[in-house]
Amino acid sequence: MTLAILTLLGTLASLAFWLIRRRASKVDDPNYQHEQRDQLIRQAIVKGDAPGLNLALAQQLDKLRDQAGATGNHSGGSGANPANDKPGV
């Protein structure tokens, strides 16, 4: 009887540990983060919250720029912002 209880407690402890690790890894998952940002943008659109929507989109754009800078993906000139396109750099 004692062995059965200990086995059950061990199984429950490992299940709890697995659930905690799964939740922690889900927060770090890029797809999960993308879904959360999209959900916030959709909510801002539905509410008609233009400042909130602009803020969310600006944060997303800043993050993309940071990622592009960190990975070194600099193409010559994007044409998106001519003030930042410097020939010979």
pLDDT digits (tens, 9 = 90+) for 53-77: 888 788 888 888 988 887 765 555 5
Q: How confident is the model at residue 8 (pLDDT cuts 50, 70, 90)?
A: very high
Residue 13 domain-assigned?
no
- Structural domain including 32 reads 23-70
* Residue 75: per-residue pLDDT: 54
CB 38 within 8 A of CB 46: no
**pTM across the whole model:** 0.42
Stronger pLDDT, 87 or 23, i.e. the higher one: 23
Residue 60 domain-assigned?
yes
Find tokens 């044409």 and name the residue: 79
Residue 61 domain-assigned?
yes
Residue 6 domain-assigned?
no
Domains: count for the chain: 1
Residue 31 domain-assigned?
yes
Residue 82 domain-assigned?
no
Residue 81 domain-assigned?
no
For 34, half-sphere exposure in the C-beta direction (CA atoms, 13 angstrom radius) is 4
* Residue 83: per-residue pLDDT: 52
What is the CA angle 34-22-44, rounded to 5?
25
Residue 37 domain-assigned?
yes
Q: Which residues, 6 or more positions from 32, have their beta carbon under 8 angstroms from its beta carbon?
A: 26
Q: How confident is the model at residue 81 (pLDDT cuts 50, 70, 90)?
A: low
